[in-house]
Amino acid sequence: MEQTSLTNEHERQFPRVLVIDDEPANVLLAKRILTKAGYDSIGSTTDPREAAKLFAETGPDIVLLDLQMPHLSGFDVMEQLRSLTEPGEFLPIIVLTADITPQTKLRALSGGATDFLTKPFDHAEVLQRVQNLWRTRQLHLELVAYRRDLEQLVGERTADLRDALRKLEETQKHVIEQERLHAFGTMASGVTHDFNNALSVILGFSEIALQELDDPDTHPVAPHLRTIMTAALDGAAMVNRLRDFYRPGGREEPRAVIDLNALVEQAAGITKPKWSSQARAKSIEIELRTKLNKVPPISGDAAELREALTNLIFNAVDAMPDGGEITLRTVEELADVRLEISDTGTGMPEEVRRRCLEPFFTTKGELGTGLGLAMVYGTIERHGGKMEIESEPGRGTTFLIRLPKHLATSQVKAQSEAHAVQPLSILVVDDQPVLCEIVAAYLMKDSHVVEVAQSGEEALAKFEPGAFDLVITDHVMAGMSGLELAARIKEQSPLTPVFLLTGYADTQSDTAPTAEHEGIDQVLGKPISQIDLRKAITRISSDEGEVARAPVA
């Protein structure tokens, strides 16, 4: 639904906005916010059945759309509006919802939503999101106007003109894709925080239980506890990678030395229960073979590579609906190690093979998100590797992954073990009692004297200059946040170190906490292990020579 006079459309200061919500109060609030900011073209309706007609009459640049409405849901309205737009047109749709579950957000994104506003509305957020999408819409209109001007000036396209149009379309597609990835990343950041809190409990009590065993090296329960701990750490790494997916260059160079053959065996073992049960349920046969040659080690993140290989194995299983054979092969090359994942499945047409690494591209319909292979490709790139795909319909598919060999240099040093420090008096602050309990248990294992508080206000009531050698606080708490608490403590006692525990550690968002925030000496990511906490205390003791110790009663 693009207007015929597009030449100056992108130069308008304010967009045309259409608000669709069955609650009159929500419509009135949205219109007041926009009108006060200078918006002068705002249409609205509380009946979703009128949305398509009003959309065609007003030609809005941005749509604010409620999801839960009688007669027609927001998902139905989105489908109607998309049918009224030109192919390739960028129509920003901001979903208004109180349902912030990942499933709802992912379904909305798949249906064409561009961004989200959570009820109740924040005035500044409404204006900022509308303005950001209007800038993107203006760019789209500018591109469309430029394209049509070229078509009017040149009746028969030359090869140069076709190339210029192709680049414009790629730019437009990239802008739209970035908006969708940004919305996806916002959702992932929230999931990361909550999931890391849950993993902190799993990792913490597993580690404590392991230490309580009579002989952790030989006790029959010990391997199971270590498996739980590994799974918890892998889970934390996975959600962090999900969050990093839409932030290019957001990770440091991987440095761990990895035995690729061992990693392949682990991935094969992890995936076998799922694909073997699927095969039995379908009465088909699937066989997984490994052909592992002697290869040198590589450098990287084992959890990340293991997840990538797991995704490729499950992808191969999905490509063999009638059963078949999967082969995992490792080969040493001149400067790289080559990993091959082959299947005897249906194969891919050339168009699918060429596009299968694009974010959100999927051939699985509602069963696929279109992110699996894109995330695998991102993992390989972050490890300095390359990935090629060989496939033909009816002849199966082979993924060829080349990863650089690990080069041992004098600059690569093993991490030093945390040395013991003298017992300290430590204040632990977290509004979740179970997380307080875990951190306190870690510290008391090292003979530290621990006091706990379950809010920033309670912590301030207990804190006095000289009473504690160290304060460890959670970041996100009800009432006073960890950053606010740290600043208040530093006002009273500037030399008292403060650690911040956060599920957002190592993010690149503007609100992510770092050691540069006032009052924070170290930021520790969740889930945290006892050795990580011990090393952090050792580092601050080493940095300051010796922590200024509080008197112990």
pLDDT tens for 416-451 read 444 557 889 999 999 888 888 888 888 988 889 999
Contact 109, 179 (CB under 8 A): no
Encode pLDDT of 66-96 as tens digits.
Answer: 988 999 998 999 999 988 988 878 889 999 8
| Residue 216 pLDDT > 80 | no
Cα–Cα nearest to 191, from 246, 119, 121, 240: 240
Task: Among 210-214, 247-251, 253-257, 416-420, name the most confident range.
Answer: 210-214
Q: Is the dihedral of CA 221, 231, 381, 508 positive or negative?
A: negative
Instruction: Determine the topology of domain 256-404 in CATH.
Output: Heat Shock Protein 90 (3.30.565)
CB atoms within 10 A of CB 310: 17
pLDDT score of 485 more than 90? yes
DSSP 23-81: -HHHHHHHHHHHHHTT---EEEES-GGGHHHHHHHH--SEEEEESS-SSS-HHHHHHHH
User: Among the listed ranges 36-45, 216-225, 385-394, 526-535, which one has the minimum average pLDDT value?
Assistant: 216-225
115 C-beta neighbours (distance < 10 Å), count: 20
Dihedral Cα 259, 261, 262, 264, nearest 10 deg:
120
- Helical packing angle, 159-212 and 433-445, nearest 10°: 60
DSSP strands (E only) in 87-189:
93-97, 115-118
Domain-wise residue ranges, the chain: 9-153, 189-244, 256-404, 425-543
**Cβ atoms of 523 and 492 closer than 8 Å:** no
Contact indicator for 252, 321 with CB cutoff of 8 Å? no
Angle 372-382/222-244 helices, nearest 10 degrees?
90
The answer to whether domain 9-153 and domain 425-543 are alike in fold is yes
Specify the CATH class of 9-153 in words. Answer: alpha beta
Is it true that the peptide bond before 120 is cis, omega within 30 degrees of 0?
yes
Task: Report the range out of 122-126, 246-250, 517-521 with the highest average pLDDT.
Answer: 122-126
Q: Counting every residue, how long is the chain?
A: 553
pLDDT at 342: 95
The two tokens of residue 245 are 């997916």
pLDDT over threshold 90, residue 340: yes
pLDDT score of 508 = 40
CATH number of 425-543: 3.40.50.2300
Q: How many Cβ atoms from other residues are within 10 Å of residue 331's Cβ?
A: 16
Confidence of residue 313 (pLDDT cuts 50, 70, 90): very high
Q: What average pLDDT does the structure give for the chain?
A: 81
For residue 478, what pLDDT is reported?
A: 87
